[in-house]
Amino acid sequence: MCANACCFTGHRIIPKEKLDSVVIKTEIKIRELISAFGVCDFYVGGALGYDTLAAQILFRLRGTEFPYIKVILIYPFEGFTDGWTNEQKAIYAQMFDAFDEHICASSTPGAASYLARNRQLAERSMFCICCCTRKTGGTAYTVRYAKKKGLRIYNILDFDIGQV
């Protein structure tokens, strides 16, 4: 039984010069949450960029040191990947079966479905690891919502999210 859960939110595009740092800092924070707080349920949103990166780190850690963690996908609606490239869809398809659970946030496509997904990520969690570099957009919305819900938030980038 898992006492605590963590969600992830971040931008679709991670600057190449920050990618190595983002990977290292994300893994360090995941390890810390598992060790110090007993986190074993991790919720990701299925988007390109940081969501995909976080899921890949979690799959690797689950396959080696932490076989008991669960990686749970919350996606906005069926077909949300329709506008992706074939390569992006192939990566998502490979990852899809590796998730321990799949939760669809909405039966209706559209912007409201993404917001519903983001709210569900926070509502199921006590911690939020984010990769946030600006005060607008879906990531900032999710961080604000998570703060409102009382989650402990860890931004792995050097960006003040205090006023997000």
Please indicate, yes or no, if residue 163 is contained in any of the structural domains. no
Report the pLDDT value the prediction gives residue 162, as an integer from 0 to 100.
60
> Using CA atoms, how far apart are residues 116 and 87, in angstroms rounded to an integer?
27
Per the structure, the count of domains in the chain is 1
User: Which residues of 11-159 form beta strands (DSSP E)?
Assistant: 39-44, 70-75, 101-104, 127-131, 152-155
> Using CA atoms, how far apart are residues 138 and 97, in angstroms rounded to an integer?
26
CATH number at residue 72: 3.40.50.450
Report the pLDDT value the prediction gives residue 128, as an integer from 0 to 100.
95
Report the pLDDT value the prediction gives residue 138, as an integer from 0 to 100.
85
Please indicate, yes or no, if residue 13 is contained in any of the structural domains. yes
In 10 A of CB 32, how many CB atoms? 14
Who contacts 117 (Cβ-Cβ below 8 Å, separation ≥6)? 45, 74, 75, 76, 105, 106
- Residue 101 backbone dihedrals phi, psi, to 5 degrees: -155, 150
Strand (E) or helix (H) holding 132:
none
Please indicate, yes or no, if residue 161 is contained in any of the structural domains. no
Q: Which residue has the tokens 């920050």?
A: 18
Report the pLDDT value the prediction gives residue 133, as an integer from 0 to 100.
83
Please indicate, yes or no, if residue 162 is contained in any of the structural domains. no
Segments forming the whole domain that contains residue 86: 4-155
Using alpha carbons, list the distances in angstroms from residue 68 to 2, 40, 54, 61, 100: 10, 7, 17, 10, 11
Report the pLDDT value the prediction gives residue 160, as an integer from 0 to 100.
63
Using alpha carbons, list the distances in angstroms from residue 151 to 6, 17, 81, 87, 130: 9, 29, 29, 34, 12
> Using CA atoms, how far apart are residues 124 and 5, in angstroms rounded to an integer?
7
pLDDT along the chain (164 residues), means of 10: 83 88 95 96 95 96 97 96 94 94 96 95 95 86 93 84 56
**Which two three-digit tokens encode residue 64?**
């080696």
What one-letter code names the amino acid at 32? E
Report the pLDDT value the prediction gives residue 157, as an integer from 0 to 100.
82
Please indicate, yes or no, if residue 26 is contained in any of the structural domains. yes
